[in-house]
C-alpha cells in the first residue's frame, strides 16, 4: 500500500468533517449535546484516529464544537463571531473600505427600523428611549463611544432575529474598532440628539423619516 500523500490526507480530513456534520444533522443534535468518541467515529468512518482527531480539532477551532478534557466533545451554541472576524480581517488587508461597512450598516439598520415600525412593540421602543436617556449621562470619550455603540446595537436587537443580531452586532463592533472616533462634548451632544430624533420618528411610525435620519447620522461619522 502506498503512503497517504499530504493532499489525500487533507481531502480525507474534509470528508470526515462533512461526515461528522452529517451525523450531527441526521441525529438532530443540539447545543450542549455530546458527540461520539474519537474511537466511535473511527469505527463509523473507517479512518485512522489521527484523521478523526484532526477533523474534530478543526471543528473546535471554528467554534462548532468544544472539547472538555476527560469528558469529550460537545456541540456549541450558534455563534458566527469567529467566522465574521476572519472574514473582516481578510477583507481589510485586501483593500476593504470602511465606507463599505458604513453602507452595510445603513442597509441593516434601516431594515431594523422597518421591523420596529411594522411590529410597533412598545417594549422595544422603551428600550431604545432608555438607551438615548442613558447616553445623556456619558462624560468621557470612552463613554461617548460606548453610548453610541449601545444605541446602534439596541436598534438592531429589536428585530429579535438571532442570526441577524449576531451578524449586525459583529459589523457594528468591527466598524467602531477600525475607526477611532474622538468626539468633543459638543459633537457627542449632536450624536445623541440625532439618536433622539431617530427614536421619535420611529415612535411616530415615520419609517421613511427615521431611515433618512439614520442614513445621515451614520454618514456624519466621516466628519468626526
Every domain of the chain and the residues it spans: 6-75, 81-223
What pLDDT, on a 0 to 100 scale, did the predictor assign at position 8?
A: 60
In sequence order, what are the beta bridge partners of 34?
74
| Of 207, 185, 190, 188, residue with least CA distance to 198 | 207
pTM above 0.75, yes or no: no
What is the chain's mean pLDDT, rounded? Answer: 85
Torsion region of 77: left, alpha or beta (phi above 0 gives left; psi -120 to 50 gives alpha): beta
d(CA 205, CA 183): 31
**CATH for the 81-223 domain, from 1.20.1050.10, 1.10.10.10, 1.20.120.530, 3.50.50.60:** 1.20.120.530
Q: Is the pLDDT of residue 222 over 60?
A: no
What pLDDT, on a 0 to 100 scale, did the predictor assign at position 54?
A: 93
Rounded average pLDDT over 36-63: 92
d(CA 135, CA 139): 9
Q: Is the pLDDT of residue 192 over 60?
A: yes
CATH fold of the domain at 6-75 = Arc Repressor Mutant, subunit A (1.10.10)
d(CA 112, CA 164): 9
What pLDDT, on a 0 to 100 scale, did the predictor assign at position 4?
A: 47
| Of 87, 113, 96, 94, residue with least CA distance to 167 | 87
Helix (H) or strand (E) holding 170: helix 162-178
d(CA 48, CA 39): 9
Highest-pLDDT range among 23-27, 59-63, 141-145:
23-27
- Count other C-beta atoms under 10 Å from residue 100's C-beta: 10
Residues 6+ apart with CB under 8 A from 146: 138
What pLDDT, on a 0 to 100 scale, did the predictor assign at position 1?
A: 37
Amino acid at each position: 500500500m502506498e503512503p497517504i500523500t499530504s493532499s489525500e490526507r487533507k481531502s480525507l480530513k474534509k470528508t470526515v468533517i462533512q461526515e461528522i456534520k452529517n451525523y450531527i444533522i441526521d441525529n438532530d443534535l443540539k447545543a450542549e449535546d455530546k458527540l461520539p468518541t474519537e474511537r466511535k467515529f473511527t469505527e463509523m468512518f473507517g479512518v485512522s484516529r489521527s484523521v478523526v482527531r484532526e477533523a474534530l480539532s478543526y471543528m473546535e477551532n471554528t467554534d462548532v464544537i468544544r472539547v472538555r478534557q476527560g469528558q469529550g466533545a460537545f456541540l456549541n451554541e450558534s455563534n458566527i463571531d469567529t467566522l465574521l472576524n476572519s472574514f473582516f480581517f481578510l477583507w481589510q488587508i485586501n483593500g476593504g473600505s470602511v465606507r463599505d461597512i458604513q453602507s452595510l450598516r445603513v442597509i441593516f439598520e434601516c431594515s431594523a427600523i422597518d421591523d420596529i415600525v411594522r411590529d410597533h412593540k412598545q417594549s422595544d421602543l422603551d428600550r431604545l428611549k432608555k438607551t438615548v436617556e442613558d447616553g445623556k449621562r456619558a462624560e468621557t470619550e470612552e463613554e461617548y463611544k460606548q453610548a453610541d455603540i449601545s444605541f446602534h446595537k439596541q436598534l438592531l436587537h429589536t428585530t429579535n432575529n438571532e442570526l441577524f443580531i449576531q451578524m449586525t452586532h459583529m459589523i457594528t463592533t468591527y466598524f467602531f474598532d477600525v475607526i477611532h472616533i474622538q468626539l468633543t462634548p459638543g459633537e457627542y451632544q449632536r450624536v445623541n440628539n440625532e439618536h433622539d430624533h431617530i427614536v421619535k420618528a420611529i415612535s411616530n411610525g415615520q419609517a421613511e423619516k427615521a431611515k433618512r435620519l439614520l442614513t445621515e447620522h451614520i454618514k456624519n461619522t466621516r466628519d468626526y
